[in-house]
Chain A
Amino acid sequence: MNTPNVTMTVRRLGPATCVIDIQGEVSAAAENALMDAYTQAVSAGARDILLNFSQLEYMNSSGIGLLVTLLIRANRHAPRLRLLAMGLSEHYRQIFELTRLNEAIGIFATEAEALAA
């Protein structure tokens, strides 16, 4: 399979909120990076995890499958944990709508909006 062309950085935004900054490409090759970042955020005590897509450069259908799997994993292992998204361009908002991810992941324009939600 392809080598990952993505960087995921975890940072704390609030007492119970972590942001995963996604820079690069989300495809099947990003699985380990995304799951590692998720584990790091959960280990840091996050109850809200905000996926920051503002530097997303490319996503294919395997990338969407990866987000679905992450969502289910989060719901199973931490039912009170919320997975949120921000920084989606209009193009990626449409993809979330097409695949119905927007029904399961709260979408916000900015970090401040997500924090206030």
Chain B
Amino acid sequence: MVRTSTAQRWFIVFNYIFLIVLGLSMILPILHVLAQSFSSNAAINSGKVYLWPVDLTLTNYKAVIGEKLIWRSFGVSVIVTVVGTFINLAMTSSLAYPLSRSEYVYRKPVLIMVLLTLIFTAPLIPNYLLVRGLGLHDTLWSLMIPGAISAFNLFVMRSFFMGLPNELIDASRIDGCGEMRILWNIILPLSKPVMATLGIFYSVGHWNSYANALYFINDRMLYPLQVRLREFIITDSSSINVPAEDALMSSPEGIKMAVVIIATIPIMIVYPFLQKYFTKGMMVGSVKS
């Protein structure tokens, strides 16, 4: 029998209300922005838009969709995210796998070398000069290569590989498999969960980041979506050409919010799928750290 005192019952009620309000504070701003992006200029400026579009209009989206530079940035972001994540996973797993095997006699020195980079990090400028020196600046490689391996993710993947049963590797070796065959046919198919988890972290990172593009890219044609969006937010969206017949309905605010929504849609589409994986991934990480 669990006794609940009055004070405890009050606490439970308060707790539910508090957490629901907190949850709403995370959803409502996004709904508000969504509503604004579909509202007319007049409605936004008179402050009538709360959570539902007022004077429903698609002009903001029409203006954004008609803007070539936004599509170009969208494409850049897609390329960087897809290719970048592929590079991340290939580089991370090709180092994590040897480090998980006792046959790799230089495990210790390599691990120490990687650990030290977590403690000692170089300032921005030497990194920038390196990227310049390698001729990567003003290319999309500068957004994919310098962050190819995250040391933390490397450790997560290594501990996953170490958790795979050794008997599996031994058995396939008896069957005459070479090391590469073992990795390709046995290990990788078993590693889907960790690949999915880290792939998600890497790709969300690529999609969302804008600092690297700000540091390394001057060519406006190579701007990823986040940098383009930042320009709209920090300066203003007057650079977008609004068709004359829509000029009354669309507004700088509405257009900004339409770009915000477009930049968020890919994340929102994958979020339900990735939720399944990231909690698992965090567990592996927390066990390690």
Q: Do A and B come from one complex?
A: no
